[in-house]
Structure 1
Amino acid sequence: MDNLIPELMLSTAVVSATVVIHLIGLDILQILTGWHLERFTTWIHLDRMIVPLGIVLGLFVIHGFEIWIYALTYWKMGLLPTLEQSLYFSTSAYSTLGETGAILPIPWRIVGVLEGINGMLLIGWSTAFLFQVLSHLGWEGEEAHPLPKGAIARPSPRSRGSGSASPQGTKDSDTELMQ
């Protein structure tokens, strides 16, 4: 318990650094994607493969930097004996895999747990970014998706009004299937 304040201070510093790296990285990816789409237009819709591939690879690079920050911190502080163990532990914690074989010393184990929470949030943020870019590329058009809108999720009671009529744009038999 004596080491809690230094653990939290270290975690706060590294979390702050990774959030700043993530902000800058996503901004760069967004700029590069916009630059690519303005300058290079392909006649066979190759952008539907190039842009997502570029973003996913870019996200791997961003997450890699963030993982390396934790690994170098563990290694330089002498919390793990080798750089390889530090990198393996950091990757496992960041990705919330959990089973590593390498274990931080007890006075510093909260840092590893907070790295897992940090990684989970940053991976979720990256996923949201990827879906946002894909939706801006026009991948969510109704004609492109095999299921009609509302085929999986029921409309909320607020959108149905009194509940006596079918949702707008559906047949009575469709509404029965959704309920």
Structure 2
Amino acid sequence: MLIMLTINFVVVTLSVIVHYEFLHLLSVYLPKIRIKTRLKVVFGILGSLAAHIIEVWIFAAAYYGLIQLGTFGNLEGNFTHSILDCAYYSITTYTSLGTGDIQPTGDIRFLAGIEALCGLVLITWSASFMFIEMQKYWKTDDNA
């Protein structure tokens, strides 16, 4: 169980660092780009989505690795043991969509629970960031 807690901590920490770095880069470079406001917002959304996609793949790689080890549980149901199935499961868990066609068993369940919480927090962070950024642009640039 200590190994699983350590893996959870590493995966979540890596995801948070990726997210922070993406949002930091967006906050630094968006104001410097000389384009219309609406395009800055589009770039901000695309950058945020890119961060989320990378984070989903971090979790997918963790699921895939843990399943390959064979001692931490499995994903069962409509699952073919491919990295793409792990990515699919990860995106449904990260976004709390949870379609239910793949279910975790064993210790991997803890990673799934942590991923749902992490996804909620990071998606909310992105929404807050974009709200603040859009307020800056809408106040300073009337010809969007």
TM-score tier, shorter chain, comes to 0.7 to 0.9
- Structure number with the higher helix fraction is 2
Q: What residue number does 1:154 align with?
A: none
Percent identity between the aligned chains? Answer: 23
> Secondary structure of the equivalent of 1:103?
strand
C-alpha separation between the residues in 2 aligned to 1:110 and 1:77?
A: 12
Count of aligned residue pairs for this structure pair: 129
Bigger-Rg structure (1/2):
1
- Alignment map for 1:32-111 (pairs within 5 Å): 32-36=29-33, 40=34, 47-78=36-67, 79-80=74-75, 81-111=81-111
Q: TM-score, normalised by structure 2?
A: 0.83
Please state how far the C-alpha of 1:139 moved relative to its aligned partner: 4.8
| CA shift for structure 1 position 106 | 2.2
* Structure having greater relative contact order (Cα 8 Å, sep ≥ 6): 2
Query: Counterpart amino acid of 1:34?
Result: P
Please report how far the alpha carbon of residue 63 of structure 1 lies from its aligned counterpart in structure 2 after TM superposition: 0.3
Native 8 Å contact 1:89 1:100 kept in 2 = no
After TM superposition, the runs of 4+ consecutive aligned structure 1 residues lying more than 3 A away are none
Which consecutive residues of structure 2, in runs of 5 or more, have no partner in the other structure?
68-73, 76-80
Q: CA deviation at 1:77?
A: 2.0
Question: Shift of the alpha carbon at 1:94?
Answer: 0.4
Normalized per residue, the structure richer in strand is 2
- Report the TM-score when normalising by structure 1: 0.67
How far the C-alpha of 1:122 sits from its partner, in A, is: 0.2
In structure 2, what is the equivalent of residue 20 of structure 1? 17
